[in-house]
Structure 1
Amino acid sequence: MSLHVLSQNVSVQQVFVLNEGYFDYTNNQIGEPVTLGVYDPNSQTYQVLDTISGARFASDMLIDDNYLYVAADNKLYKYNKNTYTLIASQQINGIRNLAIWNDKIIVTRGDYDNVTYAPILYNSYLQVFNKNDLSFHLEFDTINGPKWSTQNLVVKDNNLYVAINNAYEWGNYKGIIGVVDLTSFSYTSEIDLGVDGVNPDNMMIKGDYVYTVNNKDWSGSSISKVDLLSNTHVTTNLALVSTGCGTSCLRDDKINYQLSGDVSVYEWDVNSTPSTGSALPLNNNFYELAFDNVNNLLYASTTDYFSYGNVSIYDANNVLIHSFNTGVSPGTIVFDNATSSSPVSCAISAPTNLSATNIIQNRATINWDNMNSSTPHLPVAHYVNAGNYYYNPSVLNINVGDTVYWINDGGYHNVNFDFSMVNNQPYNNPVSFITNPTTSSNMASYVFTVPGTYNYDCSVGAHAINGMVGTVVVNQLPAPTQVCLVDQYRIKFRPVGSSTWTQKTMGQPVGSCLWACNKV
């Protein structure tokens, strides 16, 4: 007998690399531009997706849903991670690092004048923007928010933790973690990391703890472990050398880090918090470290900061398995993880009147019921991106019971399955419907339960005439096959000292192959 279950598979689809380029501050010229690239782990190929013209450097990148957000110099960029299309940009002077909470993107700020080398003073070092179109939402001023420049930040539940280091004012570095209640956008408290926790650069979170890698006053380095439940912290001094640009990452329960100018990588156990790190067999001067927790791989970049960039990939034993060339100064690496579902068979033998009496000393009898049931069709979610003036894909093939989600890349759009805006004739679809126009990224969704060909367009203005039309082909499912024979079982039992047997039926009605396989 064969039972079919649904298996959830997580895989790394692509790896984005943000190359910071090279800016000659002496001549105030861009030597090598900032570039955005992508690496395909399956084909082991790398390609440049975009050159960000005019940017002196880049500082952060993250993925959320179907979008990629990039902080480069004084701008925030939003890309479609699948089509690589630039959707929106926003001028944000001093932008540094990014975090996402619900429909908001949170930005830290700080910079210095590359002529006077004095810090640039802002009215706010922490700002919030709308994720959909990157429009401004609110900011925390220096009275009700961080008083100095901010850097890294992490979100835990509905709280934001932001590193305040005042990194651009030489000799006046800070070591503070600011806490923001995101439900009310109120700046609630600050955690002082003390003299040994000054100048936090990188910031990581695991469970109820935040970890910061600190450069102190550039004369040493340390790691602070902050308990988010008690707002207490312990700081461990690592060395009399800083970690430079914060070359570090969380790799399972270890923080991998490198000291400035060193060719050794060290690991520090977040649970045992040793007094110093242990050296790993990795001998190179790295710029960025990033951990692929799906495949247990370490990505480490190298560069001379003006002519080349390279990323090496190491396995769990720190053995080099592959490397690829990138742009100059690959400073941020992020992984695009995808979850897919696939049927998996589990073959069992479950005859009727299966006796367990010999196993549990004649105390019970288990009877499997031979109930024929078929593998049900598991609904699939499909995504269509929409913008000016397109649906991508424009033609989509699905099955009855599947759901289509339309994602708005930007603009004011809808889906109209009722009346063609091109020829002013009814579409005569198997089912007619129209949604309200919106600027929301979650534009529309619909569960197709009737087979047939559905044509549609955007009914806003002249969008349809300009090419914003699409088709959904809904296929009837084939007749199901008989693959699942067990859905319920009955168990007979009697209490100790009793001669009375009781029978109980366990499980769900016929048709639940997934439940049956889980019970085997």
Structure 2
Amino acid sequence: MFNFFSLRHFLLAFVWFFSAGLMAQQSLHQLIVVSGGAYSNPDDFVELGSFNPQTGLTMPFGQIRTQAVQDALVDGNRLYVTATDSLVCYDLDTYQRIAAIALPGVRYLHVSGDLLFVGMQYPLTENFVRVLDKENLATLNVVSQVSGETATMLDFDGKVYVAVPGDWTSTVGKMAILNATDGSFIEEIDFQESGAGIHDLFAFNNKIVAVNRSAWGSSTGVISFFDPINKSVTHHTLPYNLGKGIAIHNDQLYLLVNDAVGIFDLMSLTITNPTLLPDPGSASFINYADIVFDHLGEKFYATITDYFSMGAGFIYSKDGVQTGTFDAGISAEALALEYRTTSFMNEKQAMSLTVYPNPAKGNIMLSLPDNSQFAEISLFSSFGQLLRKEDGRTAGRSLNVEGLKPGVYHVMALSTKGKSYSASFLKQ
């Protein structure tokens, strides 16, 4: 006979488990690594991979048949990649390609609300910003008033600010200001010669900080500050060759300084450490391909390459200590971090369950840390939906996951000693 009393207690226990027993926390879910391949090899295409910071494993999941990558951007569970003449969108739950369009001259990407802003470069000679619907990549607006090739973009106070370095012959830098709601043009600010090479934009203390990348061989660099209220620009010239601006963290701007990673103190307006991370070997033509900073974990993820024969990935603490490595192909010039708010069991209620292989395709093997016997094994989706429950005494230490769709899943196990264990795994 159906026992309502038992069902009621089960539901109460279930609610308690997922509310009191689970705690929500945002953490780095994965690092997306996009490699452009060897420049000299027309058959070496753009490759995509996902690095799991928990397991240290990298899973390849896609290819774009072009010869270089310009940018990778994560927005929710979607990944957008620009590669030479293509814009491609992937679902990060399934790692499947869901949209792609041909768009010659694509460069950097920026999302504001429901809009995807796409900056453009050579071979285009006009219309240097396009505004797309981020859901289906349909063109909503073409901004013709931006005067030259563009670099990175930034949301600030209801507007999108666009770095406009122009082409390689340009001797000045500019910054375009667009309406964030529809991409319509507002104005363009001339940073003049001190703004040449304007590239990376950041918000700090109600101002916009611009890192103006130095010309090759130059021994000086400029960082500019723009005040959106009075439209004034202040330039600070430094005795260093400046490259990519990476991130601002605790009043410090991380950026490339003389081919190493240095620190520009935003309060004293000086370079306080020009070699936080080492020069990877620029004398031998090995350079940083891309670097991102994980603000939650306070770590750098950096790729190096010579653009024709090698590529490697390194993990550093914010103090510059190397703490790990990850797989990266040749010319891995686009890195992107994906954060997720995950639920995990309180340590007093659950201990770690070992799952291998991870990522998995067919069967997974389960192992308890104290060699306990399994009493019950439950499989959940990434949203907490119960998919399967098995008697651990008959199922043993393996679980068949071959029929699952690609994505992240959670396993929970109850031992014969009454202890709970949990783990997550990636189904390929």
Partner of 1:204: 202
1:231 and 1:31 map into 2 onto residues whose CA distance is 48
Partners of 1:167 and 1:199 within 8 A in 2: no
Correspondence for 2:102 among 91, 94, 98: 91
Task: Name the residue aligned to 1:10.
Answer: 26
The reply to whether residue 73 of structure 1 matches residue 77 of structure 2 is no
**Distance change in 2, residues 1:307/1:18 (3 Å):** same
State the alpha-carbon separation in 2 of the partners of residues 6 and 252 from structure 1.
31
Q: Find the aligned partners of 2:175 and 2:101 in 1 and give their Cα distance.
A: 26
Normalised to the residue count of structure 2, the TM-score between the two structures is 0.70
Deviations 1:57-105 (A, max 9, x none): 1111111111111111111100001111000101111110001112110
| Pair 1:266-2:262 in alignment | yes
Deviations 1:339-375 (A, max 9, x none): 13468699xxxxxxxxxxxxxxxxxxxxxxxxxxxxx
1:43 corresponds to 2:45: no
AA of the residue aligned to 2:37: G
Structure 2: distance between partners of 1:326 and 1:345: 34
Distance 1:111 1:134 in 2: 21
Shift of 1:159: 0.6
Q: Segments of 4+ in structure 1 off by > 4 A?
A: 3-7, 341-346
Q: Residues 188 and 342 from structure 1, CA distance in 2 versus in 1: closer, same or farther, beyond 3 angstroms?
A: same
> SS where residue 196 of structure 1 aligns?
helix
Q: Deviations over 1:252-303 (max 9, x none)?
A: 422222245x3x32100123322x4422342233232210011111112111
Q: CA deviation at 1:250?
A: 3.0
Q: Displacement, 1:19?
A: 1.3
| 1:278-293 equivalences in 2 (<5 Å) | 278-285=273-280, 286-293=288-295
Alignment deviations for residues 395-426 of structure 1 (CA, whole Å, 9 cap, x no partner):
x549xxxxxxxxxxxxxxxxxxxxxxxxxxxx
Cα 1:292–1:30, aligned 2, differ >3 Å: closer, same or farther? same
Change in Cα spacing, 1:4 to 1:56, as seen in structure 2 (3 Å) is closer
Equivalence for 2:314: 312
Matches within 5 A, 1:348-497: 396-397=385-386
Letter in 1 for 2:303: S
- TM-score norm. by structure 1 comes to 0.59
Residues 1:34 and 1:277: Cα distance change in structure 2 (over 3 Å): farther
Change (3 A) 1:345 1:229: farther
Amino acid across the alignment from 2:209: Y
Alignment of 1:118-129 (within 5 A): 120-122=124-126, 124-129=127-132
**1:96-175 map, 5 Å:** 96-112=107-123, 120-122=124-126, 124-141=127-144, 145-168=145-168, 170=169, 172-175=170-173
**Cα deviation code 1:376-402 (max 9, x no counterpart):** xxxxxx889xxxxxxxx9xx549xxxx
> Which residue, 324, 333, 336 being the options, matches 2:335?
333
Paired AA for residue 297 in structure 1? K
Cα offset for 1:249? Answer: 3.4
- Segments of 5+ residues of structure 1 without an aligned counterpart are 113-119, 347-381, 385-392, 399-520
Structure 1 counterpart of 2:223? 223
Equivalent-residue separation in structure 1 for 2:299 and 2:336 (angstroms): 13
Verify the 8 A CA contact 1:196 1:216 in the aligned structure 2: no
Asked whether the 8 Å contact 1:4–1:345 carries over to 2, the reply is: no
Aligned mates of 1:78, 1:107 — CA distance in 2 = 13
- Give me the whole-angstrom Cα distance separating, in 2, the residues matched to 1:328 and 1:108: 24
CA distance, structure 2, for counterparts of residue 32 and residue 277 of structure 1:
40
Distance 1:341 1:194, change over 3 A: same
Aligned counterparts of 1:223 and 1:330: Cα–Cα separation in 2: 26
Larger of the two Rg values belongs to structure: 1
Distance 1:9 1:258 in 2: 32
Higher helix proportion: 2
Shift of 1:195: 1.8
Q: 1:183 and 2:171 equivalent?
A: no
1:40/1:162 Cα in 2 relative to 1: closer, same or farther (>3 Å)? Answer: same
Secondary structure at the counterpart of residue 173 of structure 1: coil
Separation in 2 of the partners of 1:99 and 1:281?
A: 28
Q: Which amino acid aligns with 1:136?
A: T
Contact 2:200 2:211 in 1 (8 A): yes
User: Contact conserved, 2:165 with 2:198, CA < 8 A, in 1?
Assistant: yes
Contact kept in structure 1, 2:155 and 2:180, CA below 8 Å: no
Cα distance, 1:289–1:397 mapped onto 2, change above 3 Å: same
Q: Deviations over 1:486-513 (max 9, x none)?
A: xxxxxxxxxxxxxxxxxxxxxxxxxxxx
- Where structure 2 has 5 or more consecutive residues not aligned to the other structure, the ranges are 1-18, 281-287, 349-380, 388-428
8 Å Cα contact 2:71-2:108 kept in structure 1: yes
- In structure 1, give the amino acid aligned to 2:91: N
CA distance in 2, matches of 1:186, 1:51: 34
* SS class of match (1:294): coil
Are 1:30 and 2:42 an aligned pair?
yes
State the one-letter code of the partner of 2:136: D
Tell me the SS of whatever aligns to 1:154.
strand
Work out the CA distance in 2 between the residues paired with 1:37 and 1:173. Answer: 38
Q: Is the 8 A contact 1:32 1:306 kept in 2?
A: no
1:322 maps to 2:303? no
